[in-house]
């Protein structure tokens, strides 16, 4: 496979095959589930899946993670979220290339974070907000609604944290 300019320090795209395939698969899964939810449920409605624990809902989150800045009505919000996501994706792409080929734990973590970030980025660019549909709760304790992209980001981030704590 051809390398980009830069000699032995260039990017070998062959080394990124799993990255592109994994990230693409997560983005497709995220967008497909959001599409299916949007078709099946009117906005701001839901269906009980497991009473007292899990609902399938159709809501739009105009904020960031855990609905941060959701209440802000500002023109800066969308461009800032898009720019931050693009910076994070660029950093992840670079970091993935620095991880040894045999370190599938960290490679999978980077794929999860990147796939999730791009999945939510598509919603932000397309609609200015993100579709969320998994609603978990127990009694009065209620987790903010989330989606496949959010799950991939969270799992990937926890994997990276575990790797960091283990000194890898």
- The CA distance from 142 to 164, in Å, is 29
Cβ count near 30 (within 10 Å): 25
C-alpha closest to that of 136 among 24, 57, 75, 68: 57
Cβ count near 126 (within 10 Å): 11
Mark whether 123 is an active-site residue. Answer: no
Mark whether 103 is an active-site residue. Answer: no
Alpha-helical segments (H) within the chain: 17-40, 77-98, 104-127, 148-165
- The CA distance from 24 to 32, in Å, is 12
How many residues are there in the chain?
A: 168
Catalytic choice (30, 123, 132, 135): 132
Catalytic choice (30, 123, 135, 150): 150
Q: Judge residue 76's burial from the number of C-beta atoms within 10 Å of its C-beta, 0-12 exposed, 13-18 middle, 19 or more buried.
A: exposed
Catalytic residues: 132, 150
């Amino acid at each position: 496979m051809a390398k980009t300019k830069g000699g032995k320090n260039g990017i070998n795209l062959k080394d990124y095959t799993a990255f592109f395939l994994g990230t693409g698969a997560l983005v497709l899964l995220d967008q497909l589930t959001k599409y299916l939810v949007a078709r099946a449920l009117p906005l701001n409605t839901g269906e009980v899946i497991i009473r007292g624990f899990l609902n399938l809902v159709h809501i739009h989150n105009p904020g960031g993670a855990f609905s941060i800045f959701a209440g802000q009505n500002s023109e800066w919000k969308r461009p800032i979220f898009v720019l931050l996501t693009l910076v994070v994706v660029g950093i992840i792409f670079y970091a993935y290339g620095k991880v040894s080929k045999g370190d599938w734990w960290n490679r999978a973590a980077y794929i999860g974070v990147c796939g999730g970030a791009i999945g939510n980025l598509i919603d932000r660019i397309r609609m200015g907000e993100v579709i969320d549909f998994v609603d978990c709760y127990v009694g009065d304790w209620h987790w903010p609604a989330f989606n496949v992209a959010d799950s991939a980001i969270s799992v990937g981030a926890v994997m990276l944290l575990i790797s960091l704590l283990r000194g890898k």
